Structures are given as structure tokens and as C-alpha cells.
Structure 1
Amino acid sequence: MVDFILFMAWRNRKDRNNLWILSLEEQENISLELALITWIPSEGKIVLAVASSGIAALLLPGGRTAHSRFQIPIKVGDESTCSIKQGTHAAELMSKVSLIIWDEAPMAHRNCFEAVDRSLRDLLRFTDPTSLDKPFGGKTVVLGGDFRQILPVIPKGRREDIVESSINQSLLWDYCTVFKLTQNMRIQQNRGDKPTRDFAEWILKVGDDTIGQC
């Protein structure tokens, strides 16, 4: 999986399908993200590590919240764009980045991703006119997270409001390729630790709403 993501980050794609979503079914997403964050700079490339929450961002080397890095508006609507201006250092950084990693992605409202998408298309069109027709301006994006955990918070929202605000309800989802990690490496390394195995199974049952079912 790492090799595939690196291939996509290195390759100058000419089609529109250049957004890749990494949907992680276990709690080991941070290990894969750290591997990518470590490897890519060693090849002279730039990787941006962001997260939907401040706590998650602290776990990533050089990590920042997505709102801080992309200057996403606090009140983000259907037609919002980021505050990054052409000719600034932030705009130059966006043009040079090879890979964007967004951790805890399911926590963010889909409008946040769409705002970043619009902004990158607009910023990058000056160096590549075809960027206007590519998701995220042609940048490879890895979104890590688990839809069984925290979804976007909608004040006084109903269940359908929360579902509608999720990234998988966005038109961007049509450009996504979903990968799933099915092995909990923490358990693999501690096979004799029964409490850890039991806790991991319990967490999955909570997420799947199967607690108490036979």
C-alpha cells in the first residue's frame, strides 16, 4: 500500500482520478502515516501532514490542523474557499507539495474538503492550466480515519444532517479509491496480551453497534 501511494505521489497524472482515500478499519493508521511522512522527505519531496483536530495533529511530525494549514474559514459553507492568496509563501508551498495527508478526516465537514479542493484548483492553475479539471488541483491526497468514530458535529443536527455532512457524501468521493487496513499490528506484536485483544474487539463492536449480539 505504501508503494502504491508513493507511486501516485511521484507520478504526474494526466487524468482526473488522482484523489485517493485511505479508510482505516483499525487504530494503526498513524503507523502508516508516519512511514509516509518519514520516507517522502528523504526523497527530496514535500509532504503536508494535517489533521481535523489539534490533538491528532500533535501526533504527526510537523503536523498542523487542516484549518490552520489551508486557512479554511471557521464558518465554511457550500461555496467557501480558503484564504490562501496567490503569490504568498503558502501558495508556493501548495505548488511544491507531493503528498497531502489528512488524519481523522471523517471528523471534518465535507465543506472543508470542498473548500480546499476549490482553492488548490485555483492556485495551481497558474503553473498547470489543467489543474482546474483535477480534484485538489492534481495533488495526491491521503485521507485517514474511521467512519465508526467521530463524525462532523452538527449543532442540533439530526442523524441525516450528520450523514449528509460527511466526506463520503461529497462529489469528491467519486474520485476516491478506498483502502482498508484489516490487521491490528499492535495485537500482532503482542499476541499473548489478552486484555489488549479483548479491548480491540470491544472497540470494533462498539463501532459496529454489535455489543450484546450473539
Structure 2
Amino acid sequence: MGLPSPSEEDTFDYGLYLLDIILQESGHFLDEFDGMPLPQQDWSVQVDNPFIREQLDYNREAEQHRANTNYALMETNPEQQQAFVKILESVEKQSGKLFFLSGPGGTGKTFVYKTICNAVRARGWIVLCVASTGIAALLLAGGRTAHSMFKIPIDGLTAESFCNIPKQSQRADLIRCTRLII
């Protein structure tokens, strides 16, 4: 599967995926068998894509523990707690909402980001953490600069410039599988 510590659900789902591949080699499909569950994830993309494997390379139990611990610390700051709840709810429902956390340095914005990342990764979903500078990208686990993640051109930027990510590329597959971008 390419995952260091897959959950039982992931292992079961991957097993269904492998059964379907074996059946397809003999001209059959898993959905031909009444009552047989089908894989819920597109393992063909995940197994063959190093970008996706890297983003799923988190211990979900450890991520959940960090999310729970950090959320408990938010009890003293209701604004942080409210932001966490609203953002996570949007991610769970796939609402496609845009959020902006604003505040002076030291008010806990990065703490909220980290807690959200932990909670999203604990569910086995992909969250991409990007920033405009390398230093800022280092503040979040798995962080990258936006220009390296999204192939944003730096030199010779014009009105006709675009991000060079072919739609059939592995990077495009990663973006399609992503539940949240911070």
C-alpha cells in the first residue's frame, strides 16, 4: 500500500482493491458478486503516485492524539476553537469554503493550522501545507513553498504565466485527492 502504518479499514479496502484486480485478469469484476463490498478509495492512483504516498505517510493514531491534545488546549481560546470546528466541518462536508485566519504574531494561528492538519491526516485525508517562503513552510509538517508545490513561475512572471501542472500528471492527481490546502 505504501503506507507505514495503515489502519484496519485501509488494509481491508486495499484488499478489496487487490481482489478486484485479480478478478479483472480473468474477465470479472468485484461488483458482479451480490453483497460484496467495493473498495472505497482509488488505490491505483495512491499506490503508483509518490506524491500521494508522501502525503499519506502519517501515523493516523499519532495524528489523532495530537489533534485531541491540541484541541483540549484551545479551551482557553474560544476563537481558536471556533475556527478549528468551522474549518474541520467544511473539510468533512467538502463544502469548498475559504477561511482566513488573521491576527498579530503569537496569537496561535500556526497552532490552529497544525491542529487542523493533525485532525485531517488522522482521517486518512490529504492536506497540503504551503507558504510563500521556505521558513514559513517549515512551520507545518510536510510544508512546502507554494511555488514548488503548484509550479508557480517565479522568473519572468507575466499576465500570461500559468502553473505548469499537466492535468494527467501525478501532481495533478495529488491535487485532485487533496481535501484541504493551508
Bigger RCO (CA 8 Å, 6+ sep): 1
Q: Which has the higher helix share?
A: 2
The TM-score normalised by the length of structure 2 is: 0.50
The TM-score normalised by the length of structure 1 is: 0.43
